[in-house]
Structure 1
Amino acid sequence: MLPVVRIVIAPDSFKGTLSADDAAAAIAAGARRALPDADLVLRPVADGGEGTVAAAVRAGAGLRTARVTGPDGEAVDAAFAVDGTTAVVELAAAAGLDLLDRPAPMTATTRGVGELVLAALDGGARRIVLGLGGSATTDGGAGMLQALGARLLDAAGNEVGPGGAGLAGIARMDLSPLDQRLRGTRIVVATDVDNPLTGPSGAAAVFGPQKGATAEEVALLDAALSRYASVLMHAVGAWVERRPGAGAAGGTAAGAMAVLGAEVVSGAAMVCELVGLDAALEGADLVVTGEGAFDEQSLRGKAPAEVAGRARAAGVPCVVLAGSVRVPAERLAAAGVSAAHALTEVEPDPDRCRAGAAPLLAELAARAVAAALPPAVAR
């Protein structure tokens, strides 16, 4: 009798199509079709952005909600996770692009993120993990700092307006009213990008167009963020403009680094630790991960690359399933990936792939599992 095959299923979300949980369920259905007796271990992951709170809840944290200011100033209900004195907060829950009816690249605010941090502090949190990603904002975390008590002032002594547009007039910062509980609180920023705050690879230039910014608005936002960085330097003595990762979530990481003393960590690595991926890999025969688009950006710290790296360290082959695959074959092995398959192998029409992602992913998983495991096992 052959030993039971153990397959670890650890996908990220297929953005706009399937959540990480739904993707894992679809892959499991396909794997079960190929190997009915397999031991399937589901560990959906995230890269520090959307899905991080869900991962924390799956790991045993409790779920809380707070009513906070959305990116356009309208109130939204945002969820966060609490485990003892640790809280996990997602920026996207309070300042995500999906919360807007129409883009607002110049005025979208992170104020609600600060309000979520306050809710976590009210609940007794002394360590706050802030997952960045999916933001609608390019305000350098200014709104977040204002919600936490900081005063961001123009030359006339008035509070600056919301969003990156408000930063164009910032002259100084008064941190004395900042919530005193932050002094004894460890802030951890989880992100999957290493972009600086400004410049050609900065928050405005790279991510501004995704948030609806025109070329002219990108230039204005970049200049405003540079001015903001100078004010931060004068206020706290920390120069964060060129620091790797400072540009995450429209520069929110920069504000958190400078004012809150935030530690920046790999979001994907943090989530893999949360869900106990390394323990799940022990004795596994195969790992299946995936996301909507597996491309060169994926190899720069996104969740599937983190999963593949950990699988390689554990000596377990790893297969990537994605809506599309745009990584050259010669790069796969170096990333710890045995094979990568796209939904278009099952359905050539991309629109149909998006419309019927779950059943197509299940079929792709069935094929990939059968191909990845030895023939005697796959039978």
Structure 2
Amino acid sequence: MSKLFTPVDLAAPEGPGLTLRNRTVLAPMCQYSVDNRDGVPHAWHLAHLGARAAGGFGLVFTEAAAVTAQGRISDRDAGIWNDDQSRAWAPIVDFIHSQGAAAGIQLAHAGAKASTHAWLPQPAAAGQVGSLGEEDGGWETAAPSETDVFGLDSPLAMSGEQIAASIRDWAEAARRADEAGFDVVQIHAAHGYLIHQFLSPLANARTDEYGGSFGNRTRYAREVISAVRAAWPAHKPLAIRFSGDDWVDGGWRIQDTARFAAEAFELGVTAFDLSSAGIGKYHGPSGPGFQVPLATAVKQAVPAAFVTAVGMINDPSQAEQVLVTGAADGVSIGRAALKNPNWPAVAAAELGAPREQVPFAAQYWRAHW
């Protein structure tokens, strides 16, 4: 029996937690498809996420859903900062469940990387890159510090009051996610967005209690985790995505991530996904599975957690090897799932799973996996 297609339990502070039918996770991937610029998901999101649920994923994550309008990467991002958005997510969650998959939502705030041109429809070809101008509907961004490290318009440094309000935004988003029926909330602390900006010395130049020492730079993340965990039902798992390493001397390194992951686990986070980078020019490695060692480091720091590896994991045998060697507990599939929404079903067949255990919609049995 393939380990990739054995069920796995995600723990929660109370109750049985959540059982996933297999260890494949659809990674959050921005769709830049909210044409009305109101953050409300619609038919595209149902089709996109629903297809991957029907294709056999154990856990399907939404794209980054902004916890406040100011925290959107672009004006075409989905959100969960109001009740209209929560109600729109509910039927999408229901369909994911109907296909046997668990539904997760990634809560996000872009911080200094907010208010940028969307990748769709092909802004690079039209010369539309970087920060949105005021004439295009752009807005003022906020972050731990003023910075030009992202090559965007410099954000305003957040005041203590703004930090406190932001933490409340995360908690309210978690409450709305529960109302929409999601099974898992994932806090986005990766890719150079707001929480990562607080964590990394490359983007955090504060001199107050939110900057400087490791304890100070991780304070905002700890407060967000605590607020979300308090608002999120105790019987549901809480997850987080880290950039495990900035790949820059003097930045946020994997040793920092492993240390903080242990603290996050004590605060109620039981699932970790390990990506990397997002602040400044990329200086890291590349190639198939290049981020797997980051997941392994966190797994060693928090053995009781469910830890997933992500990044250029495309081949089923490669994914299986990650698990059988104990490098991680699951795999997050991103770009490969964009190419093939049935990636888990194909992988299960290639790995020799019995026909009745290949996870996909019954309507597709005639595909003879």
The bucket for the TM-score relative to the shorter chain is 0.3 to 0.5
- TM-score, normalization: structure 1? 0.35
In terms of Rg, which structure is larger?
1
Higher helix residue share: 1
Structure with more strand by fraction? 1
Query: TM-score scaled to structure 2, two decimals?
Result: 0.36
